[in-house]
Amino acid sequence: MSTYAQKKGFGATLWDYLTTVDHKKIAILYLIAGGFFFVVGGLEAVFIRIQLAVPNNDFVSAGLFNEIITMHGTTMIFLAAMPLVFAFMNAVMPLQIGARDVAFPFVNALGFWLFFFGGVFLNLSWFFDGAPDAGWTSYASLAMASKGHGVDFYVLGLQISGIGTLIGGINFLVTIINMRAPGMTYMRMPLFTWSTFVTSALILFAFPPLTVGLVLMMFDRMFGSNFFEASMGGNTVIWEHLFWIFGHPEVYILVLPAFGIFSEIFAMFSRKRLFGYSSMVFATVLIGFLGFMVWAHHMFTTGLGPVANAIFAVATMAIGVPTGIKIFNWLLTMWGGSVKFTTPMHYAVAFIPSFVAGGVTGVMLAAAAADYQYHDTYFVVAHFHYVIVGGVVFAILAGTHLYWPKMFGTMLNETLGKITFWLFFIGFHMTFFIQHFLGLWGMPRRVFTYLPGQGFETSNLISSLGAVFMSLGVIVLLYNVIMTSVKNERVGNDPWGDGRTLEWSLPSPPPFYNFKQLPLVRGLDAYWLEKMEGKKGMTPAEPLGDIHMPNASFLPFVIAFGLFVAAFGALFNMDDKAWSVPVIIIGLLITFGAMFLRSVKDDHGFHIHKEELMEDDNDKGVKA
């Protein structure tokens, strides 16, 4: 099995990626697919800003505007931010804990393909009489009234990709609990691993309510049930609850890994141990726990009553405490450190004031009485873009620069990286800072235009100009990616020179089995400890022996594809098309047939023998 060192043709490479169960390759798949959807969602954002640049604009119609904002939100959350975060979790977390792969490599691949087909299905709505138009929250009162198939694409597409996310979460949990290297105790785990762990637990408990909500909506729209039909006894508030019981933890599912990436960056480029490590762990867990207690703050104006509103308001404000702990820990990590302003560090430093601004408006919104004023205005739009762009997107961009060498074996250009940063940073604040004021002045969100003479013109124009800067930033990043891939200057294990955790003790990219011998972990920042004692690498915790590896498989692709087919059948069932039921059945047969095959066919994996591992030492120059 040492064929990996040879050059492969395009077809073979494609097949390799379609069947791979290697977490590093799956990470690349997530990065490419997530990056693609990020660009799609970004284009939708640009369309929104063009439409709103001047009053009474007719760049898009009101109906199309609804479709664009819905798809922008849905795409960015489910198809861009989550997969990009998953890309880094897959690429880095197993290396950080000293594991050779995740616990369920097959399931890992299945999770990716489910997300991918769900995302493709959702975006195909553009080509079948219209995209979903009920907002990314798809409130039932709007969604049930939506004509055409847009909302059906939303329901089925998210259902498929949601299953993928859920099994991914289970996979990471088990990996972290069962597969840590000798000496890697919980309190020696890098913060990114900790945040992956807590995030996965949130995924496990937050996604099932979404699953149920989507099932109910699917039944209502496609199979004639009455969950949200008030005249039949139904109640649309059920959707709001189910959606936000999922939706609020979802925010933390996105932002905790962002915190993890920044924690790594602050420690690395301050060249200091992370300040208050154990309080960071504590704060991460506490945020994860409190994240489930606050969903109704999205529903203050629904009319749950003053008692419910008061409880959820106080719980929401309480989240500010662990988050504050984290902010101060990051600041104190830099304090007295020997700070190096690399591109990732630029994002990290910019993240603190940006995210704090989003947090402060969050506490303002948490005051239930005041929220009646802010609700459904641009103030809310400004708030959540400050936390999601200022927190999550900054982290994703930072992580892209930071982990690019580990994933691809070559460094992104630092100068271009900093240009990207400044364009994106300025554009971001230009776009969204002014929106706080637009909201306070009364501009409602989700409305496709505004009239002249209301004092919204200049501010909206500034906001739209900001979007130009952000777009330029992304274009520079894409240019950077292409340039560095063409040049392809190979780098060593620790290209930043300041690596602290285990992933930097391995070649870039690591061999497919990651660790020839599992490393012995002697403390927090395991690799840094060894470097400080003058050692070149980790001390092995085991003699060189055979390594057990999983087999590649095409089945994950087939299982996900079957659901994709079945979803088309379900979608057209409401049109009474004769072929809809057979299509559902064929799709489900493909899925369950592939699952059946997986169940009855033994898959023991294979062993890489000791001799082959020793040979690898001799041809070190050759890279996969």
Partner 1 sequence: MHAEEKLTYETWPAEPEKSTLEAKNKFLGFWFFLGGETVLFASLFATYLALKDKVPDSTHHLAKDLFELPLTFVATMLLLTSSLTSVYAMYHMKNFNAKKMNLWLVITLLLGAAFLVLEIYEFNHYVHEFHHTFTSSAFGSAFYTLVGFHGGHVAFGLLWITTLIVRNAKRGLDLYNAPKFYVASLYWHFIDVVWVFIFTVVYLMGMVG
Residues that bind partner 1 (CB under 8 A): 103-104, 107, 166, 170-171, 173-175, 177-179, 204-205, 207-209, 211-213, 215-216, 219-220, 223-227, 229, 231-235, 238, 241-242, 245, 596, 599-600, 602, 604
By C-beta, is 207 or 351 nearer to partner 1? 207
Beta carbon of residue 295, minimum distance to partner 1 (angstroms, whole number): 12
Give the up-direction half-sphere exposure of residue 245: CA atoms within 13 A in the CB hemisphere. Answer: 17
C-alpha span between 220 and 240 (Å, rounded): 15
CB of 160 to partner 1, least distance (A): 16
> In this complex, which beta carbon is closest to partner 1, that of residue 57 or of residue 225?
225
Nearer to partner 1, 242 or 571 (CB): 242
d(CA 622, CA 489): 14
Q: At its nearest, how many Å lie between partner 1 and the CB of residue 312? A: 17
Contacts of 162 (CB under 8 A, 6+ apart): 78, 118, 207, 210, 211, 214
Distance CA 357, CA 359 (A): 5
Inter-residue contact 401 to 394 (CB < 8 Å): no
| Listed residue (395, 527, 503, 495) closest to 92, CA to CA | 503
Which residues on neighbouring strands pair with residue 540, listed in sequence order? Answer: 519
Length of the chain, please?
A: 624
Closer to partner 1 at the Cβ: 393 or 570?
A: 570
From the CB of 502, what's the least distance to partner 1, in Å?
19
Is the Cβ of residue 103 or residue 398 nearer to partner 1 in the bound state?
103
Compare residues 162 and 362 and give the one whose CB is closer to partner 1. Answer: 162
Report the alpha-carbon distance of residue 104 to residue 607 in Å, rounded.
Answer: 17
Q: Which residues pair with 608 in a beta bridge?
A: 547
For partner 1, the closer CB: 234 or 507: 234
Q: How far is the CB of 440 from partner 1 (least distance, A)?
A: 36
Backbone φ, ψ for residue 550 (5° rounding) = -80, 155
**Shortest approach of partner 1 to residue 297 CB, angstroms?**
19
What is the smallest separation between the CB atom of 302 and partner 1, expressed in angstroms? 14
Give the position of tokens 């079957």.
Answer: 562
Say if CB 580 and CB 573 are below 8 A apart.
yes
Cβ within 8 Å of residue 19, ≥6 positions away = 109, 552, 553, 554, 557
CB of 175 to partner 1, least distance (A): 8
- Choose among 451, 463, 297, 470: nearest CA to 371: 297
Buried b (16+ CB within 10 A) or exposed e, 36-50: bbbbbbbebbbbbbe
Question: What's the CA gap between 436 and 431, in Å, rounded?
Answer: 10
Which residue, 604 or 620, has its beta carbon nearer to partner 1?
A: 604
Is residue 199 within 8 Å of 173, Cβ to Cβ?
A: no
CB nearer to partner 1: pick between 17 and 205 = 205
* Whether 450 contacts 456, CB under 8 Å: yes
Q: Which is nearer to partner 1, 59 or 292 (CB)?
A: 292
Extract the tokens encoding 584. Answer: 């559902």
| Nearer Cβ to partner 1 (201/267) | 201
**How many C-alpha atoms does 566 have within 13 Å on its Cβ side?**
19
Q: How far is the CB of 359 from partner 1 (least distance, A)?
A: 28
Min separation Cβ 214 and partner 1, Å = 11
Closer residue to partner 1, CB minimum distance, 44 or 240: 240
| Exposure of 282 in the CB half-sphere (CA atoms within 13 A) | 9
Question: Shortest distance, CB of residue 166 to partner 1, whole angstroms?
Answer: 6
Joined together, the tokens standing for residue 361 give: 């408006």
Residue 192 CB, shortest distance to partner 1, in Å, is 21
